[in-house]
Amino acid sequence: MPAIPTYRSSEYVTITLHSHLPYVVNHGTWPHGLEWLSEAAAETYLPILRVLGELEREGIALKAQHQPFSYSAGAVISSRLQRRVSQVRAAQDHSRQQDQKQFAIAGNAHMASVAEYWQAFFDEVLRDFNELGGDIIGGFRHFNDIGAIEVFTCAATHGYFPLLGTDASIRAQVRTGVETHKKHLGKAPRGIWIPECGYRPAGSWTPPVSMNGASPRAFQRAGVEQILAENGLEYFFIDTHLVEQSAIFTPYEVAGDVPVALELEGEPRASFYQPFFADTPNRRQAQVAFFTRDPRTSIQVWSGDHGYPGDGDYLEFHKKQWPGGHRYWRVTGPKVDLGEKQAYHPEWARQKTRDHARHFVHIAHEAISKNPTTPGVPPILTAPFDAELFGHWWFEGPQFLAHVAREFAKPESPIKLITCGEYLDQTSAQGLPRARRGIMGQERH
């Protein structure tokens, strides 16, 4: 199959989608068992695959890092999921028909047309699912193979690394994620999403709780980056606050067993817009880069109050028609009571995804231009989000991603999309960061 090329540019953006679906196989159906998996498949994974297919036919690529599902979610290609999707589809058909009858009786022609919209949407979802033979992983593997996306891995059960009591626990989390990735994708991953962006450097560590009544005793721990390097991983992601302060913190330089943090007044802060190598005791053997979340584009996308999903024309997530659960209302306003929500107009929402994609490109360029990086190093803006935001929580999210890719692909755009792996192939990480003393990450959702 032909590979999608990487285009060189003076500015880059990389979008990262990571999943948080827990292990749900063999945990029943509703509300927290296979129902979660079937919802994610219908509302997020399959719509994103459809978008990737549309872009491929246009000769465009999203070039995102994509961890399309937590491997702890279980057998996404199982026959059990196929049966459950078929069952859910039959129930949706019945409830949608009942809704349409009620709207028609009430003389609400517009709501009846929205019911028809849902019929077409779920017909398309089921058709896509059947064309894949239920193999959602195989769908993402195709786009990974041609370079349209770069699938990365995750920890086995999303264990929070800074609080896991032994290095063996972290190694098991990472090794399982890597090996599962190889099994399903046919190649080793280059990057990983560490749970909750929780990074901990090497050094002395004291358990936060006592064991068997004995007082906790400190002992030496490996840095997260060392364990990632052992498993062949090249990059991970951290949250903004770990590099937003102008301080050098090297935990391997100590004075009286106390880590030394050196504040540099008058120096510019470490850039969010280039990767750095995580400092480590053995820098030659463990060169693992990290990419930092850009704050402005993050809040613009994930925030329901200040971001795109809160726009009044988008589908309201929380208001559903009883008993089938279909949604027929739009956000109207983020503070509007559910009883005051207005009718949803799919065509209005589609237009907003185009407008917001253009705005996203604009603010990305603005953020890069206002924040200098190392001379001669092309900046890269990192925009990581929960995968389930796109489609499940923000129904129009996949359409937004498609328009973002189209905007960046325009010849006049000074910014191009790139994956983290491709960026590292072109431009090495720039030395060590001037990072904040904090060691624990906390994601924003």
Tell me the catalytic residues.
Answer: 196, 386
Q: How far is CA 88 from the centre of its chain?
A: 26
- CA 52/CA 398 separation, integer angstroms: 9
Cβ density class 363-392: b for 16+ within 10 Å, e for less = ebbebbeebebeeebbbbbbbbbbbbbbbb
Token pair recorded at residue 186: 């046919």
Q: Taking the chain, what is the end-to-end CA distance rounded to the nearest angstrom? A: 36
- CA 251/CA 272 separation, integer angstroms: 21
11-18 and 289-292: which strand pairing?
unpaired
- CA 175/CA 232 separation, integer angstroms: 10
Token pair recorded at residue 51: 């978008």
Those residues whose C-beta lies under 8 Å from the C-beta of residue 216, and which sit 6 or more positions away, are 206, 207, 208, 209, 210
Handedness of CA 92, 98, 101, 102 (dihedral sign): negative
Handedness of CA 174, 78, 394, 150 (dihedral sign): positive
Do residues 272 and 292 touch, judged by C-beta distance below 8 A? yes
- CA 257/CA 131 separation, integer angstroms: 61
Handedness of CA 183, 189, 194, 200 (dihedral sign): positive
**Radius of gyration of the chain from Cα atoms?**
23
* Amino acid residing at 430: Q
- CA 1/CA 141 separation, integer angstroms: 12
Q: CA nearest 144: which of 188, 208, 110, 107?
A: 188
- CA 25/CA 423 separation, integer angstroms: 36
Do residues 97 and 329 touch, judged by C-beta distance below 8 A? no
- CA 313/CA 330 separation, integer angstroms: 6
